Chains A and B, each alone.
Chain A
Amino acid sequence: MNEAVEPVLEGSAERQNRFISDNLRRIFLLVYRMVGNVADAQDLTQEVFIKALQRQDQLKETEKATHWLSRIATNTAIDFLRRHGRVAFCDLDDMPEQAGRSREESPEAMVLRAERKAFLERGLETLTPRERAALLLRDVEGLPAEEVARHLACSKATVRSHIANARVKFRRYLSRRKP
């Protein structure tokens, strides 16, 4: 990853494109899991890269560019959730033309999967933006607590508190409301 990151700071368009391509999918997924909506995730992912490439002079150590980008993504998604308050769901009718994996799914399977996802998204809505970010970074992205603390710019103890609160709230949500 460092090979892709280091040349970004030299500023050529070709190298910036490579930096974008190498990190686009990872950042999109990170943002998407937090906001739970493809359209918003696409907008926010673009915003993250524009912010990062416009402020690349702030980054002194090239090795940290990947973490720095993830941190911008996390903060951008948290800001978005604070502004909008809740995750915006996409109706099945509004979904784009079925493609790839979903072409092989039956309509019933698609509906069930969409319901399961919506159920989980509603559970994530019960968490604060920082709790949601901590839970997703730790349990879905699999980052260690120290790394999550760096992403959220807070102490390890605070992150542990966020993670514990999020797991407790989510477990209660699951036990109260089965899909």
Chain B
Amino acid sequence: MKHPDESALALYAGGDLAWWKRFGIGRHVRQCGECGRQVDEFRGVGALLQAELEGLPPNLEWTEAAAAMRANIRLGIAAGQCVADPPQRVRNPWRAPALALAAVVAILAGWIIQTLPPAGRIAPPAPAPAADVLVLDANPAGVGVERDGRGFRLLRPEAAEGVEVSVRGDSVRSRYVDGKTGQVTISHVYAE
């Protein structure tokens, strides 16, 4: 006698076979004690699981647990809405043509200016002679004054921190803190 395989018996026990297979295996099981025993054991598996796992866990206070879960779900949804992508801005259909038109106008204006005769152009102001110009200079390296290529500069030390430089009217100012000693040094250079 050829016995059905174990998987077929497992499916037969749960009623999960097509009717023609169920018919064939059912006839065999009724005649074979060993296969009948296996089918009973498979049915016992389902019944055992159903009996033991049915219903809520015995130590769970469902009302409290459900209220906590509901609150957390609402919180999760609200948090999700906070970090959701912002709504897409409505795009103006005239924006692209307007930008293109502006670009064409700018190119045309540039071309016209370039093609004007030199006489029509406004002469740029002549630069002031370098001589007699007093230059006050302030940058993070220090503050100083210069005229005709001569001058002096108050340099900040390497350990200086938090350097501030500013220009006020006819003076420049720098302020820094010595990183080692904490001493604050303020340098002021006035032009007269």
Question: Contact residues of A with B, CB < 8 Å?
Answer: 13, 16-17, 20-21, 24-25, 28-29, 32-33, 38, 42, 45-47, 49-50, 53-54, 95-102, 105, 110, 113, 116-117, 120, 135-136, 138-140, 142, 145, 160-161, 163-165, 167-168, 170-171, 174-175
Contact = CB atoms under 8 A, between A and B. Distances in A.
A108 to B, nearest CB: 14
**What are the 4 A-B residue pairs with the smallest beta carbon separation, nearest first?**
A167-B10, A164-B7, A50-B76, A139-B46
The secondary-structure label for the interface of chain A is: helix
A49 B16 CA distance: 31
B77 interface: yes
A140 B23 CA distance: 25
B70 A17 contact: yes
B61 A164 contact: no
Contact of B45 (A17, A20, A171): A171
A89 to B, nearest CB: 12
Contacts of B59: 38, 95-96, 98-99, 102
A100 to B, nearest CB: 7
Given A138-B16, A171-B45, A20 B73 contact: yes
Contacts of A135: 49
Contacts, number: 121
A46 B53 CA distance: 21
Interface string B59-74: 1111001101110111
A142 B60 CA distance: 23
A36 B120 CA distance: 91
B11 interface: yes
Contacts of A167: 10-11, 13-14, 42, 45-46
Contacts of B10: 163-164, 167-168, 171
A96 B14 contact: no
Nearest to B57: A38
Contacts of B6: 168
Contact of B80 (A20, A50, A101): A50
Contacts of B52: 116-117, 120
A38 B76 contact: no
Nearest to B13: A167
